[in-house]
């Protein structure tokens, strides 16, 4: 293209930038003017910067979930864990049956959902892990590191439970399950089958399933206490190593890999629970067990302990306070509807807990019928339910090995995705705080899982159950409640409910209603002041049950 001549002697070529256009992306037009044989030629080049997604604050966008369903399955998989199977059904049975749903749903609406919604929104808006989100109010950053540390502590013993399930799974691939009789090398003289045990309440008697768990798997008989742990047992150590390898390859590439793993680990428990329920309701006595589970005793609602246990179950079953919800939601797209996600996932979690009760009590009713004992003789919660009572019930069924494999696969998948959530909280929280770790996520993930494995070895020794119990009681008890309390106060009172609501409106185009704002500012913090237990000596806990908390009196604070 011909243009006007440039005066000779100025330059043989000129680069002239054109003013950037005011589009969404700046474009620079370069005009190159060259002179050849006295004739000037021009060529035009459009130079556009590499497109990058940016946060409204101007920060570069972080990695996001491959699909929306990956996020939902990850949150559901984390929240729906072993406690949904071994704790909620027993609490429901013990505290008035169907009547227990009244305080449970009440606390779900006034505290569980608001806190869950708060953490999802906090992580999604700030695009950081549990520590980094406190750039909104730096004085509370210690809370972020607290929940990261708690998640790390929980991993020390939670992975051990999964290794137990894996050990049971391997042991189920036999023609005869190893916990059906008392003729094994680990059995004690006190071992007695239910049929031979005329007095079930006899404290000196133990069933084959109980002895298999305590003596065949844990080998508690070879330890004199926590001061006599012994060496790690190679069988459990091998199972723990397999669990750690599974966790590493699920997490090493971030949400791109973990989001695919949960398609199996989060959905498999529902398939297995349905299969077990269909089998369970066909067993004799199953209907009686389900009736006991659902029996309504509204008089139990007059007992304050029932309300306290409902509040405790809500707080721990939803998984708030571990930094996991913050970490997961930080990988959402900025405009994702976190309000809808909170409603969906909390509802699914509660429905799963309720549904699992039918499965558990159909088999407990069968055990009660088969051994001709009262239901409360076989009903229990915790590890005793899934590693003693349930295996014992399965062992009496035709094709027991197949049912055992199915059941322990369910436990394995229930545990793995919850463990993945806890690890992701630690990894995301730390690499977001220490930016140089972003480039070395694979190595840092390896460091975290190997460190967890080494600490967990204390729990797979002969006396490992003592260490396990210590961690279980103190790693994530009142510390979680305290962390969530400070978190709620930090957001509602220091950062401000109004500003937090503005943030949510900026993301989803809709401001939270008055109900949510009242819950965040007043109701949820008051709910968390169940902390009366945390500041009261254990010898006075019975007074807390009666509403007598010495630390809540003016005299306690003024006396000198």
Task: List binding-site positions.
Answer: 77, 79-80, 84, 317, 349, 414, 417-418
Q: Report CA-CA distances (Å) from 55 to 63, 109, 256, 507.
A: 12, 32, 20, 11
Point out which residues pair with 232 in neighbouring strands.
461
Of residues 290, 400, 403, the one with CA closest to residue 356: 290
Name residue, tokens 């005066």.
7
3-state helix, strand, coil in the chain (%, to 5): 65, 5, 30
Binding site for Na(+), by residue number, is 77, 79-80, 84, 317, 349, 414, 417-418
Cβ distance 219 to 462 under 8 Å? Answer: yes
Of residues 523, 521, 514, 516, the one with CA closest to residue 496: 521
Q: What is the sign of the dihedral through the CA atoms of 453, 457, 460 and 464? A: negative
- Is residue 47 within a helix (H) or strand (E), and if so which, with residue range? strand 39-47
Torsion of CA 108, 112, 113, 119, to 10 degrees: -170
For 438-504, the DSSP string reads GGGHHHHHHHHHHHHHHHHGGGGBTTHHHHHHHHHHHSSSHHHHHHHHHHHHIIIIIIIHHHHHHHH
Cβ distance 157 to 415 under 8 Å? Answer: no
Tokens found for residue 312: 């405790």
**Strand order, beta sheet including 13-17:** 13-17, 28-36, 39-47
- Is residue 16 within a helix (H) or strand (E), and if so which, with residue range? strand 13-17
Cβ distance 61 to 262 under 8 Å? Answer: no
């Amino acid at each position: 293209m011909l243009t006007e001549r440039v005066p000779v002697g100025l330059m043989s070529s000129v680069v002239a930038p054109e003013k950037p256009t005011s589009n969404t992306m700046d474009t620079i037009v370069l005009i190159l003017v060259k002179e050849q044989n006295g004739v000037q030629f021009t060529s035009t080049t459009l130079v556009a910067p590499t497109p990058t997604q940016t946060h409204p604050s101007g920060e570069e966008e972080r990695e996001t979930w491959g699909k929306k369903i990956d996020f939902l399955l990850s949150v559901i998989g984390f929240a729906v864990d072993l406690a949904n199977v071994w704790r909620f059904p027993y609490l429901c049975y013990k505290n008035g049956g169907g009547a227990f749903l009244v305080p449970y749903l009440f606390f779900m609406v006034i505290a569980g959902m608001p806190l869950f919604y708060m953490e999802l929104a906090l992580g999604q808006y700030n695009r950081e892990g549990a520590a980094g989100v406190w750039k909104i109010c730096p004085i509370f950053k210690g809370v972020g590191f607290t929940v990261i540390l708690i998640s790390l502590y929980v991993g020390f013993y939670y992975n051990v439970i999964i290794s137990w399930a894996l050990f049971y799974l391997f042991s189920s691939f036999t023609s005869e399950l190893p916990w059906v009789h008392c003729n094994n090398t680990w059995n004690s003289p006190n071992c007695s089958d239910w049929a031979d045990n005329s007095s079930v309440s006899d404290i000196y008697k133990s069933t084959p399933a109980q002895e298999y768990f305590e003596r065949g798997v844990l080998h508690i008989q070879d330890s004199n206490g926590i001061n006599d742990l012994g060496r790690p047992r190679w069988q459990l150590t091998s199972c723990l190593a397999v669990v750690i390898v599974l966790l590493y390859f699920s997490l090493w590439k971030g949400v791109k890999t973990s989001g695919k793993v949960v398609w199996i680990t989060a959905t498999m428990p529902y398939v297995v629970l349905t299969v077990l329920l269909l089998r369970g309701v066909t067993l004799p006595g199953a209907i009686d067990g389900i009736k006991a589970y659902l029996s309504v005793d509204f008089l139990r609602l007059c007992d304050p302990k029932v309300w306290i246990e409902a509040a405790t179950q809500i707080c721990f079953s939803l998984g708030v306070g571990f930094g996991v919800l913050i970490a997961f939601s930080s990988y959402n797209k900025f405009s994702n509807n976190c309000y809808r996600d909170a409603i969906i996932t909390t509802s699914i979690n509660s429905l799963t807990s309720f549904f699992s009760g039918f499965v558990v009590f159909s088999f407990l009713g069968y055990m009660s019928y088969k051994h001709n004992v009262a239901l409360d003789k076989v009903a229990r919660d915790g590890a005793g339910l899934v590693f003693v009572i349930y295996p014992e019930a399965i062992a009496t069924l035709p094709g027991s090995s197949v049912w055992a494999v199915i059941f322990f696969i369910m436990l394995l998948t229930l545990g793995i995705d919850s463990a993945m959530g806890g690890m992701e909280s630690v990894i995301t929280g730390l690499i977001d705080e220490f930016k140089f770790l972003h480039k070395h996520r694979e190595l840092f993930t390896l460091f975290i899982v190997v460190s967890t494995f080494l600490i967990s070895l204390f729990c797979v020794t002969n006396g490992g159950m003592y260490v396990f119990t210590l961690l279980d009681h103190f790693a994530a008890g009142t510390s979680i409640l305290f962390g969530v309390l400070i978190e709620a106060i930090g957001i509602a009172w220091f950062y401000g409910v109004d500003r937090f609501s503005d943030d949510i409106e900026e993301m989803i185009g809709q401001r939270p209603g008055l109900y949510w704002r009242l819950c965040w500012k007043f109701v949820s913090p008051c709910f968390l002041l169940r902390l009366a237990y945390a500041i009261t000596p254990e010898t006075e806990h019975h007074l807390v049950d009666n509403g007598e908390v010495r630390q809540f009196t003016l005299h306690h604070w003024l006396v000198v």
